Amino acid sequence: MTFGIRERTILVNSLIIIFVVYSLTNMVFQYVKTIEFAVSLNVLLYYTNWSNILAAVAAACSLYCIFKGIKLPKPIGILKLASLMMLTVTFLVVVFVLCPQLGWNILYDIGGMIFLHFIVPVLALIDYLYNVDIDAPGKRDAIYAVIPMMIYAIGIITILLVAGNDDLAPYPFLRIHSQPVYVTILWLVGLAGLGFALSYGYTKLIMRTNPNLKD
């Protein structure tokens, strides 16, 4: 039996689902001890969790298409791109912001953080650049890929506005009640710009790496 693209895709996407389900359930129930700040009942408040959930959903859709023997529909391809972009942002923030501030144990915490912050992003990168069977993506796909990130940001801001305080703010830059409105707007614009730049870069890179898109 040869281990080709199909088998590799099944393995990678299955691992993404397993790691995300394990990490998020352990965050709530603490089957395996994890770092303190990772323990939370409000798993959907955090960008890291949101991006990993999207990756797991996209992985499940990929497995369905593989077993049906069909190419991924355009919306699922965009979801793959969106989750990869968001996971990339997660990884960059962890490496350049969280680890220097909170310690590098974040990247090797087997209670879940090593999977959500490092392993799942790497698997998603491998899957998109080398495995996924989609039509050639373009600039429009990169624009659409930013939408889930913006839904997250707008959703969190709405929750904080309704709550009337920043007690549920998952990140310092989302403490909207203790910072000027323009600062919040700048963060949103910056996130959207970074998201588009990463997504667009991936749409270009995949054309060079993915054997399904090569002539």
What H or E segment, with its residue span, contains residue 161? helix 147-163
User: 134 is written with which tokens?
Assistant: 């989609």
Taking only the tens place, the pLDDT of each residue in 62-100 is 999 999 999 999 999 999 999 999 999 988 888 887 778
Of residues 18, 178, 188, the one with CA closest to residue 26: 18
pLDDT digits (tens, 9 = 90+) for 134-170: 999 999 999 999 999 999 988 988 988 888 888 777 7
Q: Can you give the pTM of this predicted structure?
A: 0.89
Q: Domain spans of the chain?
A: 5-213
Look at residue 38 in the predicted model and tell me its pLDDT: 47
d(C-alpha 42, C-alpha 38), whole Å: 11
**CB–CB of 9/126 below 8 Å?**
no
Judging by beta carbons within 10 Å of its beta carbon (0-12, 13-18, 19+), is residue 4 exposed, middle or buried?
exposed
